[in-house]
Amino acid sequence: MSAKINKPLLVVLLLFVLAAGCTKTKPEGEPVKSAPSVTTTSVSDVTPTSSKSGGNVTGDGGAAVSSRGVCWGTDQNPTTSGSKSVDGSGTGSFVSQITGLSPGVTYYVRAYAVNSVGTAYGSQVSFSTSASAPTVTTLAVADVTTGTASGGGSVTSDGGGAVSARGVCWSTSPTPTVSDSKTSDGTGAGAFTSVITGLAPNTSYYVRAYATNSAGTSYGTASSFTTKTTDILIGAEQMFPASAGNTSAVTLDGESVTCELINGFYIYQGDIILAAPQAQGAGWQGQGVGQQGQGVATKGAALNLQTRHWPNNRIYYNINQSLPNPSRVTQAINAIKEVSNLEFVVRTGEANYIDFVYDASGCSSFLGMVGGRQDIRLANWGTMGNVIHEICHALGMMHEHSKKGRNNFINIVSANIIEKYAHNFSEFTKSVNTPAAPEAFDYQSIMLYSSTSFSKNNNPTITKKDGSTWAVQRQFLSADDIAMINTLYPPIAVIMRDADNNEYETVTIGTQIWIKENLKVTHYNDRSTITLNSSDAGWSNSTTGSFCWYANNEANKNIYGALYNWNAVNSGKLCPEGWRVPSDADWTILTDYLGGLTGNSGKLKTTGTTQWASPNAGATNSTGFSARPGGYRFYTGTFAGMTYGADWWSSTEFSADKAWVRGVNSSGTNIARYNDFKRNGFAVRCVKN
């Protein structure tokens, strides 16, 4: 009997035989192909926008290399899908040019090679392009006088390198460089303004903006301008240069002076406002000069009445947002601050202040502090020097030509004066000159008229006694101008000296007089010694008056003062005679004057983050209290809070083991009133009895 055939098994066997017969077998000895082998050459010849690299195809992987080159980018491990060069085919070394780069940027490079198997890359190398010189444009010159002009520029590209200097340079040659006269107006990219000074009258100059980085200095296009022959003060320091008003006599320090009455303003000598209509930026109005404008002294003439001086040598001000070129105001303020005892503080609500406002007509100022808001009006053409001139009026200074005794030094040429302005040349006989130069006349004063002021024919209206003239200047305060300011506003006298003979400046806030820094005395006012407790145990266990320096470092003494426990405060002898540690009620008087505990800590804190930790919220120090973040000491002896907080004892007890404290910190704007353990160490301020 024949065997039965398994048909399914037979089908499987036949399919296997067919498949095996169709498989292509590799000829014996044929090599396996792979991607090429390639190395990357180091980068050389680096410029701001290009460099050179290359590579070496050391093996083709058994298949022809169809292309090779380098690829690059600002991200690591660049590929041929990005920027690349194509530098032939085959094996061997090759050189690649890398182009289209940006200055001052780090790039990554790899060599590559392509065959039929795929793309291979060499190792990665990196390099940074060098910076190129900046790109800068020159702004048009404006506000040209006999000796000054304004200009500026804009750094539109830093060339990939930080701009370390920028400004304008000028000379009488067509291509000025930084080797000639120049300004320095900050760093970095962006627009800037420049004040060009030291020019000669009636002279042509060329000016170019410049910018410097590590690659060098570049310049904008040069522009030219010519300084004026003379400055005629019609169109300069005059409130209404295009208007004529009726003359009116008013009384100033008991002397009758002639003013112009224009639009309700009583205007003296062109730009001095003696009285104003309602709602025109004056704390006193109308014709009350005879009663309220008493007291004038001059060396350049200046108000001598203390009620018209700014108290505590502090002038609060605001720059109105509508004022063009506000930098001229800050430059003028800085110029005055550098040579005087004055402090200019941005207003945060104070009642008496200067408001710098725009006036399309001219420049003007009130005379001395008049109370409330008082305007200094500035036209577009008003330069930094014109602003200094008007601020000096607000400080109490008048014009040099009107000083008592001026006839010994100058001639008034009436025949050349426009008749309606003749009253501007009268002598003010109530003047008192500065002790430094009682019989002098200052031809360099920034408060002096030009020789052709209010001239009807451009001939001199004022000359020296020999008939010669002078070039008016609105560039700087003369030595006598500075002496006048410092006569009116001498240094604030130190009015508190402690038992160690340390001297403390003081500040008046409302009805109180406070010292402007923390107490640092080591003896009571009876000359007995306050215990210095440095150790944690000694501090914690002390039952008598003790003090320490923060972190036991005496270097903190003159910056932050000492930290005292409340037993020292309660002795009643920490402050010198005539002074006391403020009570809780004294502190409340202060904070009520500031407007309460909420949102007013900034009025007490010094500004910036040099001593205070960021953000030093709301800090303006508008009161002059000058709080610094001296920290505190726990009753355990641990120190904390330096750079963050300032806390002061009151002399008022809260309970058997606690007393009232006030504090401010860097992150908030509130003033804290709280009670804390008497064994803690806090700072102390003194208030005058």
Q: Following DSSP, what letter does each residue of 43-102 receive, concatenated?
A: PBS--SS-EEEEEEEEE-TTS---EEEEEEESSSS--TTSEE----SSSEEEEEEE-S--
List the one residue out of 146, 278, 295 whose CA is nearest residue 225: 146
Backbone angles phi and psi of 656, in degrees to 5: -60, -30
Evaluate if residue 244 carries a pLDDT over 80: no
Evaluate if residue 231 carries a pLDDT over 80: no
- The span from the CA of 412 to the CA of 391, in Å, is 26
Q: Are strands 343-346 and 216-219 parallel, antiparallel or unpaired?
A: unpaired
pLDDT value of position 10: 56
- Which of residues 482 and 6 earns the better pLDDT score? 482
Q: Are strands 353-358 and 373-378 parallel, antiparallel or unpaired?
A: parallel
pLDDT value of position 55: 98
List the one residue out of 454, 443, 423 whose CA is nearest residue 236: 454
List, in order, residues 6 or more apart from 475 with CB less than 8 Å away.
147, 148, 197, 198, 385, 446
List, in order, residues 6 or more apart from 343 with CB less than 8 Å away.
312, 313, 314, 315, 337, 624
pLDDT value of position 439: 56
Evaluate if residue 22 carries a pLDDT over 70: no
Q: Give me the percent of the chain exceeding a pLDDT of 70.
A: 88
pLDDT value of position 136: 97
pLDDT value of position 27: 55
Q: Are 476 and 335 in contact (CB under 8 A)?
A: yes
Which domains occur in the chain, in start order?
37-128 (2.60.40.10), 135-226 (2.60.40.10), 231-483 (3.40.390.10), 496-688 (no CATH)
Backbone angles phi and psi of 229, in degrees to 5: -75, -45
pLDDT value of position 378: 93
Evaluate if residue 235 carries a pLDDT over 50: no
Look up residue 555 and give its DSSP letter: G
* Mean pLDDT for the stretch of residues 398-412: 90
pLDDT value of position 312: 87
Token pair for 607: 């500004």
Q: Binning pLDDT at 50, 70 and 90, where does residue 382 land?
A: confident
pLDDT value of position 360: 80
Evaluate if residue 628 carries a pLDDT over 50: yes
Helix (H) or strand (E) holding 228: none
DSSP strands (E only) in 253-366: 255-262, 265-268, 272-275, 296-298, 301-303, 314-319, 343-346, 353-358, 364-366
Which of the residue ranges 341-355, 394-408, 426-440 has the most confident prediction, judged by mean pLDDT?
A: 341-355
pLDDT value of position 420: 82
pLDDT value of position 245: 74
Three-state secondary-structure class, residue 172: coil
pLDDT value of position 279: 37
Evaluate if residue 597 carries a pLDDT over 70: yes
Evaluate if residue 524 carries a pLDDT over 60: yes
Evaluate if residue 232 carries a pLDDT over 50: no
pLDDT value of position 604: 98
pLDDT digits (tens, 9 = 90+) for 499-515: 999 999 999 899 899 99
Backbone angles phi and psi of 332, in degrees to 5: -65, -45
- The span from the CA of 685 to the CA of 689, in Å, is 13
Evaluate if residue 388 carries a pLDDT over 50: yes
- Which of residues 611 and 494 earns the better pLDDT score? 611
- The span from the CA of 207 to the CA of 224, in Å, is 6
Residue identified by tokens 């570049």 is 218
Q: Binning pLDDT at 50, 70 and 90, where does residue 562 land?
A: very high
Evaluate if residue 294 carries a pLDDT over 50: no
* Mean pLDDT for the stretch of residues 253-276: 85
pLDDT value of position 264: 84
pLDDT value of position 281: 42
pLDDT value of position 587: 98
Look up residue 499 and give its DSSP letter: T
Q: Give me the percent of the chain exceeding a pLDDT of 90.
A: 69
Please give the mean pLDDT across all residues of the chain.
88
Q: Are 604 and 625 in contact (CB under 8 A)?
A: yes
- Count the Cβ atoms, other than its own, within 10 Å of residue 483: 20
pLDDT digits (tens, 9 = 90+) for 157-197: 999 899 999 999 999 999 999 999 999 999 999 999 999 98
- Which of residues 495 and 162 earns the better pLDDT score? 162
pLDDT value of position 39: 97
pLDDT value of position 61: 94
Q: Are 266 and 277 in contact (CB under 8 A)?
A: no
Residue environment code for 509-530, b if the CB has 16+ CB neighbours within 10 A, otherwise e: beeebbbbbbbbbbebbeeeeb
What would the DSSP string read from start to end of 594-657? Answer: HT-STT-GGGTBPPSSSSSPTT-TT---TTS--B--EEEE-TTS-EEEETTEEEEEEEEE-SSS
Q: Binning pLDDT at 50, 70 and 90, where does residue 255 land?
A: confident
Tell me the pTM: 0.44
- Which of 152-161, 220-229, 330-339, 349-358 is predicted least confidently? 220-229
Length of the chain: 689
Evaluate if residue 301 carries a pLDDT over 70: no
Evaluate if residue 435 carries a pLDDT over 90: no
* Mean pLDDT for the stretch of residues 336-344: 94
Q: Give the 3-state secondary structure of 661-675.
A: EEEEECCCCCCEEEE
Residue identified by tokens 């944690």 is 536
Residue identified by tokens 């058997």 is 656
Backbone angles phi and psi of 626, in degrees to 5: 60, 50
pLDDT value of position 251: 80
pLDDT value of position 201: 73
Cα angle, residue 535 at apex, residues 531 and 536 outer, rounded to 5°: 115
pLDDT value of position 661: 98
* Mean pLDDT for the stretch of residues 632-648: 97
Q: Binning pLDDT at 50, 70 and 90, where does residue 664 land?
A: very high
- The span from the CA of 639 to the CA of 652, in Å, is 24
Token pair for 122: 């060499």
Q: Binning pLDDT at 50, 70 and 90, where does residue 4 land?
A: low
* Mean pLDDT for the stretch of residues 68-88: 97
Q: Are 164 and 212 in contact (CB under 8 A)?
A: yes
pLDDT value of position 30: 66
- Which of residues 239 and 607 earns the better pLDDT score? 607
- The span from the CA of 400 to the CA of 307, in Å, is 22
Evaluate if residue 678 carries a pLDDT over 80: yes
- The span from the CA of 658 to the CA of 635, in Å, is 12
